[in-house]
Structure 1
């Protein structure tokens, strides 16, 4: 089936499976089916590439530590809020 022959309804079935593929939550047979669909369907391949890029960006962002200056400012603001709460001003 060519990319032009894929209908919207057919692709809807693959959207969730693409996420499972990216999360390594499909068995080998399901991986093969989804990968074949991706080879034949440009729009789903684009969606897969976008989902993969977002997943990589989030993973990279979550492993980075905030700069020390930012962490110090957050700590200071938390202390100020605690003081306001303790004094009944919040």
Structure 2
């Protein structure tokens, strides 16, 4: 289960747990006043992360939404290691 934290302007922060990945996770209804609340992006527990990654996460950068058309163009690369035990490799 994934948990998401939201902030209601009148009631404060609350957390909801979702079982599926479908649906809008940017807004939720506040369980107390029933107003719309916006999602907060909180960093995960970072004490075991690489220090560079940890610093970047703790700066509070929100995730970017990337469209498929904006991804770099690249074809499939042939594997550099021969793996005859896997299907499709020779």
TM-score by length of 2: 0.27
Larger Rg: 1
Asked which structure has the greater RCO (Cα within 8 Å, sep 6+), the reply is 1
TM-score by length of 1: 0.27
More helix by share: 1
More strand by share: 2
